[in-house]
Amino acid sequence: QADSMAEVGNGTLTTHVLNTATGLPAAGLVVRLAQLQEPGPQWTELAQRHTDVDGRCKPLLAPGQAKSGTYKLHFETAEYWQGLGHASFYPFVEVVFIITNPAQKLHIPLLISPYSYTTYRGS
């Protein structure tokens, strides 16, 4: 079954952000995607998005764009919390991950509160 899904270069990268203090999606939060240039430590920005009312944004990597390598998602959390009148202990959150199979669909959610964050590899 997995083989039928694995059309070369068909992978995408998506995220969503949830405010766990309210249980609501985090809207209007800036997300940037960058790729590490081997051997590093230079990062090249590939995309910038704003989350919508559902805490989601268009895929950060469109089908055919994904390549094997090290990437990071940068979430502008301080700006988001300031907009809600909160201070944020974390000025931003960076999630670094490795793409080994460019044909995979990757979903990397972020759950945030002013004093914590959690991320995981979603589906």
Q: Which helix (H) or strand (E) holds 100?
A: none
16 known ligand binder? yes
CA distance 121 to 52: 21
> To which residue do tokens 């044909």 refer?
103
49 known ligand binder? no
Contact 55, 2 (CB under 8 A): no
Task: Cite the annotated binding site for substrate by residue number.
Answer: 16, 56, 120
Task: Cite the annotated binding site by residue number.
Answer: 16, 56, 120
